[in-house]
Amino acid sequence: MAWTTLPERVGTQAEQRPDAPALLWHGQEIGYAELSGLAGTARRGLEALGLPGEGPVALVAKKSPQAVAVLLACLALRQPVLIPSAELGEETLGELLARAGAQCLPSPSELTDQAAHSGLVLGEPAGPEGSRCAALPEDTTFLLTTSGSTGLPKAVPVSAAALDRFTAWAGQRFGIGPGSTVLNYAPLNFDLCLLDIWTTLASGGCAALVDQDLAVNPAHLLQQFQARPVQVVQGVPMLFQLLGQAERRSRGDEFAQVEHVLLTGDAISAKGLGALPGLFPKARLHNVYGCTETNDSFVHEIDPAVDPGRYGSVPIGRPVTGADALVLDEEGAVLTGAGRGELMVRTPFQSAGYLDPALDDGVFVPHPGDGSAEPGATGRWYRTGDLVRRHPDGTLTLEGRRDFVVKVRGVRINTAEVEEALRRHPEVADAAVLALPDERAGKRLHAVVQRTEHSALGGLQLREHAAKLLPRVAIPSKVELVDTALPRTPTGKLDRKAVLGQLPGQSA
């Protein structure tokens, strides 16, 4: 079977452009020849270990040039590799490895150091044989993991064909090629790296790696732009808030070479969107929608003059080349006109299913109209769990999560919409709205709101603000005001599970 061409492309760059920068790390460039050399050393170390064959290995490590080299070596050896978050708790990590039956690799620094190879040992398979998931598809490259903010992370196999299709599409769509520098903000286990790192390397560009330990440090972020002109920036809204802070200590021209800005992960506020044209004066702005299971599915090029005012929020755009989309109404029927429902997608880059096939049920499904795709087939559709509104002209906008919809006194409330209404107050920096059990109402809404710096905003003022935007039943029964940042996942998404765990008497 044909395998991914990515390692071959990196090898070609190393031969033809050995000194061209492949990675940027703490202001230092790593050329293609050096990266290829690190990957070659890692490959010899992996071969010396005795790889498990059909089973996966696991790389539990934070992002670094050495970690990238180890993953390149795994690709070259056709060795499936599970990439969990390096920040998972010991118990959660152990359960994830056990379900995958994955053996842990030595550290990237050891694998890329020839002198350390004699003492390397491959970890024992985690968990008993009976506890493991089904066998991997034979063309699996990476096993990416979901955020795990609502439970055990799910392992999502990425096939060699999907990886090649994605890197070819993304490189062409965003003009990534030799001479391009792409900022990589996300940790290695997130699907955003398929563009930031793997598309960049497949296209002969330079991936500017943000150190995870310094990801919220504006000075470190600014360093990436000062070391090399950056052409592509992809990230969640928090990244752009941090870059706005970095600009205050910049020379004034660090962001002038950015050509494409990709917004992803969370919906950006009108205030955050309004700051982007000034921050990136020459850049085209794109709202990118996707899931770990499907990768990028929609792209919308933002016009700051009309977005988000035209539809109330920034659209997610149109399906990318080769992708399809459906909207299901509350009865599960395909919506043919304007209306609201759950988004289903199918992309050329998607996984055929989770590592644990028991998790596929109700998520990876046949077409709801004809049931044409067999289980495990690439033609299956993915139920995103995201609620969208299709406007009369066909444009789609996000309206929250299916699992964020709760009933309060018999009325359906979307807690994500309540959060967005609270964030529209000029003195609100962030907001989380939780649905807590209530004997009389069934559920009650509890809001935890971060005020802007030096704000004296009170709960009564905020409730009056909310009353102008929300029905009475959707106004939180309690508003807790804080002056510290709300918990976030490693990629900057609001971690509602962690917020819940901080409330007295509640458990995450």
Residue 149: is its pLDDT beyond 60?
Answer: no
Note the pLDDT of residue 270: 78
pTM over 0.95: no
Note the pLDDT of residue 303: 92
Mean pLDDT over 69-74 rounds to 98
Note the pLDDT of residue 500: 86
Rounded (10°) angle between helices 218-227 and 237-247: 80
Six-digit token string for 490: 């490693």
Q: Which residue has the higher pLDDT, 402 or 32?
A: 32
What is the overall mean pLDDT for the chain? 89
Hey, CA dihedral for 343, 349, 352, 357, is it positive or negative? negative
Q: What is the C-alpha separation between 262 and 266, in angstroms, rounded?
A: 12
Buried b (16+ CB within 10 A) or exposed e, 418-436: bbbbbbbbebbbbbbbbbb
Note the pLDDT of residue 257: 95
Max distance between CA atoms of the chain, in angstroms, equals 71
**What pLDDT, in 10s, does the model give residues 196-245?**
999 999 999 999 999 999 999 999 999 999 999 999 999 988 899 899 99
Strands 103-104 and 155-159: unpaired
Residue 412: is its pLDDT beyond 80?
Answer: no
Note the pLDDT of residue 1: 46
Helix H or strand E encompassing 297: strand 295-301
Give me Rg for the CA atoms of the chain: 23
Range among 64-73, 96-105, 376-385, 490-499 with highest mean pLDDT value? 64-73
Strand partners, 103: 57
Amino acid identity of residue 440, one-letter, is R
Note the pLDDT of residue 506: 62
Q: What is the C-alpha separation between 329 and 336, in angstroms, rounded?
A: 10
Grouping H, G, I as helix, E, B as strand and the rest as coil, residue 364 is strand
**What pLDDT, in 10s, does the model give residues 372-390?**
544 444 478 999 988 899 9
Note the pLDDT of residue 408: 78
Mean pLDDT over 52-72 rounds to 93
Mean pLDDT over 333-347 rounds to 93
Six-digit token string for 360: 């596929």
Rounded to 5°, the CA angle 41-81-375 comes to 150
- Is the peptide bond prior to 308 cis by the omega test (within 30 degrees of 0)? yes
**What pLDDT, in 10s, does the model give residues 239-255?**
998 999 998 888 888 99
Note the pLDDT of residue 441: 61
Q: Of all residues in the chain, what percent carry a pLDDT higher than 70? A: 92
Q: Of all residues in the chain, what percent carry a pLDDT higher than 90? A: 61
Grouping H, G, I as helix, E, B as strand and the rest as coil, residue 382 is strand
Mean pLDDT over 74-80 rounds to 95
Six-digit token string for 203: 């296209």
Mean pLDDT over 322-344 rounds to 92
Q: What is the C-alpha separation between 143 and 194, in angstroms, rounded?
A: 12
Q: What is the C-alpha separation between 72 and 6, in angstroms, rounded?
A: 8
DSSP-assigned letters across all residues of 220-242: HHHHHHHHS---EEEE-HHHHHH
CA dihedral defined by 485, 489, 495, 497, rounded to 10 degrees? -130
Mean pLDDT over 75-88 rounds to 92
Q: How confident is the model at residue 285 (pLDDT cuts 50, 70, 90)?
A: very high
The full set of domains in the chain, from first to last, is 6-215 (3.40.50.12780), 321-401 (2.30.38.10), 409-501 (3.30.300.30)
Note the pLDDT of residue 255: 95
Given a contact cutoff of 8 angstroms between Cβ atoms, the answer to whether 344 and 382 are in contact is: yes
